[in-house]
Structures are given as structure tokens and as C-alpha cells.
Amino acid sequence: MTAKKTESGKAGARKSGAKIRVTLVKSVASCREQHRATVRGLGLRRIRDTVELEDSPAVRGMINSVSFLVRCES
């Protein structure tokens, strides 16, 4: 059987309008270039910068790849 799709059309999608607060807590100076690009893609520039992003699988994947640099709150 297949998973039941939500209103957005994707199985397992989070509820619409949910936000995640992401804060950069460590420097990206000595990190790999791919990690730097991911942090910039999240909209973070410097330490203690905080952004609120839509709770989506893409954003969750980005946070997961740089989890050692950021703090995440629901």
C-alpha cells in the first residue's frame, strides 16, 4: 500500500505554515566548501545569526548536513 498524501501532494509532508528557527553557533571558516554553501543556502551569514524557515524535507536535509554548526528550534 502507498502512503496517504497530504494536501501538498507529498507523502509525509509537515503541516503547512510550520516554522523552524535555525541559529549558526560555530564558524564556517575551517569547514568544507559544501558545508559553507549549505549554511549560506539556509540564509545564515555569521555566528549567532538566526532565521525562521519553512519546515520542509529539503530544509531538514540541509540542517542535518550541517548539524554540527547550527542549533535548531521548532
pLDDT tens sequence across 28-73: 999 999 999 999 999 999 999 999 999 999 999 999 999 999 999 9
Residues with Cβ < 8 Å from 15, sequence gap 6 or more? 55
Q: Which domains does the chain have, with CATH numbers?
A: 19-73 (3.30.1390.20)
Q: Is the pTM of this model over 0.85?
A: no
Between 6 and 56, the higher pLDDT residue = 56
What is the structure's pLDDT at 9? 53
DSSP state letters, 48-68: T-EEEEE--HHHHHHHHHTTT
Considering only CA atoms, which of 24, 61, 62 is closest in space to residue 44? Answer: 24
Angle subtended at Cα 29 by Cα 27 and Cα 32, rounded to the nearest 5 degrees: 105
Using CA atoms, how far apart are residues 24 and 71, in angstroms rounded to an integer? 7
